[in-house]
Amino acid sequence: MSDNKNIHIGTIYKEDDNGNETVQELSQQDFLDLLKKGLNTDKPDPDSRALLKALLKQILATFKDDPKTKADPVSSKTIESLYTIYKYLQQDIPAEKLDKFLEQQIKFMAIPRPAGIEDFLSISATGANAREITIKQFENTKVTYKGRLAIDEQKILEMVRLSFTDNNPYKAKGGLNTLIELPFTQTMQILGRTVTDRNRKEFSRQLRKEMLPNIAHYGIDIKSKDGNFIHMEIGGGYYALNVRKNKIYFKLSDPYAIYLNTGALSQYSSKTLLLGSQKNPLPFYLAIKLQDQYFHDGNRTLHTNNILAVKTVLSFCQDLIPTYDDVQKTDRGHWIKRIREPLENALNEIQSAGLFTWEYCKAGLTEVAPQEISTNDFRKWSTLYITFKLIPEEPNQSERIGHKQLKIEDAQKQKALKEADTIIKADKIQKRNSRRTKKGTE
């Protein structure tokens, strides 16, 4: 569970008898407080308990019997924890046992991802309804919890990012063009949709009702220099379609546009958009992580941008590949089928798409023997490394790197001037003191 209690995990909408709606943003700490109010028997809070019952009932109805959720160890454990809490709501909990119970059962709370996006519930990205759950059963209250975006929505977001970076100079001083235009038909094709009149109508409906609103109102949490998280929504609330003109229009929020323009995110290859699917999003997510590693300037300086430990690569797979311990508990002895083969298949798809080639190696890019690669021992296999090489020419980085180098050189000049000024001031003080001492002796 995250140490930061202010992570945004959802929104509560309440409507009074006059039809007036109030909106309350829900943080992780807020949800913990809601749990305590709803579960505590010393100071019972009927409203909190009723809301929790409605919430958990809907979550369980959505995911409990979902085959994909059952097949994924992390998601399965999450549902078990939620079901345990739901059963506790049907009885009284002694106050002295409440804190211990919560400590054991709230492991499903949001966990920060390397990219800064918070996933509520840790439900597998393969789940069809993983991104949003709406509770309508509790009087006039609607609670919406958002997890990660579905893969098709993430691909559209990547298209938006690419379009933005193509149309805005790196680190532009104001005047950013935040209005994005995407081709409707090409977007369909990238997402693997067959272009027919019927499919175009259905895709248009999905964009209007689900995809674009989800992207526009999706938030990311960026860690600031002072260690706190800054929450920003991706969209500026404006999105539109014109199917006749073959256009999708999307507007980025100003904070998110500034964030993109600072170079905080890599400029991913457009070939990444062709990877993965709703059934198997792993190649898509893994390709983004490999590109983050490859294009990171610090990694380039250390010559570590094209090598990763197998253990590190597995950590990039989030909850899409189970851990070895989970496999041993649920499917003992089948780690090759459950862990190694999905990882290698994803890497092979990335290679087939013309993005990276890859192969096993040892630390320092040294060669590894065939028998070491084909081992049936998970621990030996997980100590290996993979090396990957970019197949096409990499995107033009000259403007960004040149800008960064000028900034470094300017900082070095300012530092040298400051040091010289300090030396001159110290020399003047020394001479002045020397003259005073000389006068004193005379």
Distance CA 80, CA 72 (A): 12
* Any domain includes 401: no
Residue 144 binned pLDDT confidence (cut-offs 50, 70, 90): very low
Give the helix ranges, DSSP H, for 142-224: 151-167, 184-190, 197-206, 212-216
* Lowest-pLDDT choice from 153-157, 243-247, 278-282: 278-282
* Any domain includes 423: no
Verify that 115 and 168 share a domain, yes or no: no
Verify that 255 and 271 share a domain, yes or no: no
Distance CA 289, CA 113 (A): 12
Higher-pLDDT residue of 32 and 105 is: 32
* Any domain includes 129: yes
Distance CA 232, CA 210 (A): 20
Number of H helices, E strands in the chain: 19, 14
Verify that 297 and 375 share a domain, yes or no: yes
pTM: 0.60
Domain C-terminal end among 225, 243, 265: 265
Token code pair at residue 231: 């929450």
Domain C-terminal end among 380, 395, 410: 395
Verify that 187 and 75 share a domain, yes or no: no
Tokens 């996006």 found at: 117
Nearest CA among 289, 342, 295 for reference residue 312: 289
Verify that 230 and 282 share a domain, yes or no: no
Domain tally, the chain: 3
Tokens 């958990």 found at: 56
Report how far apart the first and last C-alpha atoms of the chain are (Å, whole number). Answer: 74
Rounded (5°) CA angle 371-377-383 = 80
Verify that 13 and 95 share a domain, yes or no: yes
Question: How confident is the prediction for the chain on average, in pLDDT?
Answer: 75
pLDDT in tens, 188-224: 999 989 999 999 999 999 998 888 887 887 777 666 6
Verify that 278 and 239 share a domain, yes or no: no
Verify that 302 and 325 share a domain, yes or no: yes
Higher-pLDDT residue of 14 and 405 is: 405
Nearest CA among 188, 176, 152 for reference residue 252: 176
Verify that 135 and 198 share a domain, yes or no: no
Q: Is the pLDDT of residue 369 over 80?
A: yes
CATH number of the domain residue 245 falls in? 1.10.10.10
* Any domain includes 406: no
Domain C-terminal end among 120, 146, 172: 146
Q: Is the pLDDT of residue 382 over 90?
A: yes
DSSP letters of 367-423?
Answer: ---HHHHT-S-HHHHTT-EEEEEESSPPP--HHHHHHHHHHHHHHHHHHHHHHHHHH
Range of the domain at 45: 8-146
Rounded (5°) CA angle 260-168-255 = 35
Average pLDDT for residues 411-427, to the nearest whole number? 82
Verify that 26 and 142 share a domain, yes or no: yes
